[in-house]
Chain A
């Protein structure tokens, strides 16, 4: 800026000399104010993430909604606008109640089992005992194993003549045909998934547990509180943000289960393990009904969104401590 002339400056921030090559005539305020520079830097920093989100989240999301208003037969190369027809079909789909029931059952079973087991393991492995590191590694290692490899191994284990029944036979128990009986197929898929991912939640809980100040426990001990009471009155409230986080992650993850179903049961026996994502896959990729498949995706999106909003709202009631 030249001191000889004072110019009304549009920007509230003081203008700086123009960068080399900008060619601003002497006396005119530079375009590159600090504020603008800062803004540009900011935009540049978020640009890669923003581009990724737009390209791989927002555009596909918009496209899925657009496709859901069409009938798209890939083989015949027909793409016709049908308006709300797919949504009417969705409302009247006789398979949908069963699919939603299976989805709910899977999610409920997974979330309850996963969180309870993860918390239990975290509390156990939070003790200062020898060998806890070994067990921490042991329980966490399935998280880094490829999902498909993990599931295929379990498929062999759960076969009628597989490892699980072989083990049961040694103690004289005639095990069921885990993946092909109505009663056990869903449980098997849930348990395979719990063992796969329980380590991740366990580590998160473990970190939270170690963040609880020791003096609170000491104070409780001095006051004569039982261990059970200490757990519910001190530990739980203080790790409640982590409980919220893990429950959101687990619920959302449970709604996206696909590979396990595709490998272990293909939605069977009957349709007892046909969860929403698998049903969507069948409609779009197997029955060539991409339009209706997209409609099911919109439904899945709505469900995930609704559940997340509900959990977020609930946090006010049960998360007592947030940093």
Chain B
């Protein structure tokens, strides 16, 4: 009897639990009201306002569909998404960082967008390469954003070591000069010189904005061979090391400085950050990356927008993606995120939506940058490789480091991962 009683109680408990678990709405497939969740890494008010505007417009023709934008912290973005997928709470749409593109595209986690997108043929091939697998496009490269150098002209002028814009006009805007100006500004202002934004001695792939000037690469194009101990990379890293510890042009490890709060003379970042300068209290300018020994170059960071197969409303999500990325909305988004649509990639169109940037800056940094830029490094199994490189590079960030020896050891630790 007791056994029967306990069994009954157990069953009742179990039924309550399963009932709780099963009540999650699968309303998407039945055509009822749907709330789509799209994860991004931008909580920037201007960005969010634009997204909400597009979603509101979509609701006019699709009254059943609401879209919620979920801004997640950038540093742990991919980790958060994968955890949500593992927990059965996958977002319907997600921004995807370029460094995890190969993992997402190759895994089959994303919906094939070939039949979804409008005017797909208009997308720049350089922009879609990273997001294509087996001839199909798995994410819309909503942002193909070149890195440029933002300059605090007040601080640089006060240091009297030359102006990046003038040097650029004279064809003298080189890394040697950039470091010289940064060092002089830092010495004069007591603030930081040049900040490679978001690098912080951890996100090492942002250093590609420097070493690409030496023609260096993290690994070979086929992803099989480590490039860290190649002569060009050793030269570039030695230059960076000198700039930090000898010339004091870059802030030392463990020092935080925000250009947009006036804490540094220059910063390397993407143009989508220009919106942070709307209320800037200092004079500023935007110039392309300085030339390296290899001549002028440009580096682009990309973000893709994909539909997750494991999301509860994949079909509705794909329909919204089509709307979000159509020509009209791409033009709106272009004020923050340089678009992959070739028809929009000209200084005039971009100038209309980028009131903060001058047409010359847009041409110089954005349009030329996208056409000849190299994408930041990415690889399948990126997180593990990235972590191995980060811990491998740590010994380099000391005044008495031996760059060649450190870079050799980086290759020793990542070569087996690259070969996987």
Contact = CB atoms under 8 A, between A and B. Distances in A.
Interface of A: 31, 36, 39-40, 43, 51, 73-77, 158-162, 177-181, 266-271, 274, 282, 285-288, 290
A161 B201 contact: no
B246 interface: no
Interface stretch (B78-86, B170-178, B325-333): B78-86
A76 B384 CA distance: 17
6 contacts: A76-B107, A177-B253, A181-B398, A266-B202, A285-B82, A287-B387
Contact of B82 (A159, A270, A288): A288
Contacts of A282: 383, 387
Interface residues on B, range: 35 or more
A270 B395 contact: yes
Contacts, number: 81
A161 B109 contact: no
Given A266-B202, A286-B383, A287-B383, A73 B107 contact: yes
B186 to A, nearest CB: 13
B201 A74 contact: no
Interface string B31-55: 0000000000000000000000000
Contacts of B83: 285
Contact of A180 (B5, B384, B397): B397
Contact of B254 (A43, A74, A180): A180
A74 B82 contact: yes
Contact of A269 (B2, B5, B383, B394): B394
A190 B86 CA distance: 32
A75 B85 contact: yes
A74 B85 CA distance: 7
Contacts of B392: 270
Contacts of B78: 286
B252 interface: yes
Contacts of A266: 202, 390
Given A159-B256, A180-B201, A267-B391, A75 B384 contact: no
Nearest to A55: B17
A77 B310 contact: yes
A1 B392 CA distance: 82
Contacts of B394: 180, 268-270
B395 A269 contact: yes
A195 B180 CA distance: 43
A69 to B, nearest CB: 17
Contacts of B202: 266, 268
Contacts of B309: 77
Given A159-B254, A179-B254, 16 more contacts: A36-B2, A74-B85, A75-B85, A75-B103, A77-B108, A159-B255, A159-B256, A160-B252, A160-B255, A162-B254, A177-B252, A180-B394, A271-B391, A282-B387, A287-B383, A287-B384
Interface in B355-409: 381, 383-384, 387, 390-392, 394-395, 397-398
Interface string B245-264: 00000001111100000000
A51 B13 contact: yes
A114 B256 CA distance: 31
B387 A77 contact: no
Nearest to B85: A74
Given A51-B13, A180-B201, A287 B254 contact: no
A263 B408 CA distance: 29
A74 B387 contact: no
Contacts of A161: 254-255
A221 to B, nearest CB: 53
A76 B109 contact: yes
Contact of A286 (B108, B310, B387): B387
A39 B395 contact: no
B3 interface: no
B336 interface: no
B2 A39 contact: yes
B1 interface: yes
A74 B252 contact: no
B219 interface: no
B95 interface: no
Nearest to A10: B1
A287 B253 contact: no
B387 A160 contact: no
B381 A287 contact: yes
A73 B109 CA distance: 11
A267 B395 CA distance: 14
Given A75-B104, A77-B109, A267-B391, A288 B254 contact: no
Contacts of A76: 107-109
A31 B2 CA distance: 10
Contacts of B104: 75
Given A159-B255, A179-B254, A285-B79, A290 B107 contact: no
Given A74-B85, A285-B79, A285-B82, A270 B391 contact: yes
Nearest to A54: B13
Contacts of B381: 287
B255 A288 contact: no
Contacts of B79: 285-286
B403 to A, nearest CB: 16
A182 B158 CA distance: 38
Interface string B101-112: 001100111000
A287 B398 CA distance: 28
Most interface-central of B2, B82, B395 (chain A CB within 10 A): B82
Contacts of B310: 77
Contacts of A286: 78-79, 383-384, 387
Contacts of A159: 254-256
A288 B104 CA distance: 11
10 tightest A-B CB contacts, nearest first: A75-B107, A160-B254, A269-B394, A76-B107, A287-B384, A286-B383, A74-B86, A75-B109, A159-B254, A180-B253
Nearest to A159: B254
A138 to B, nearest CB: 29
B200 to A, nearest CB: 10
Contacts of B103: 75, 288
A160 B391 CA distance: 19
Contacts of A269: 391, 394-395, 397
Contacts of B107: 73, 75-77
A161 B202 CA distance: 18
A69 B234 CA distance: 43
A214 B214 CA distance: 77
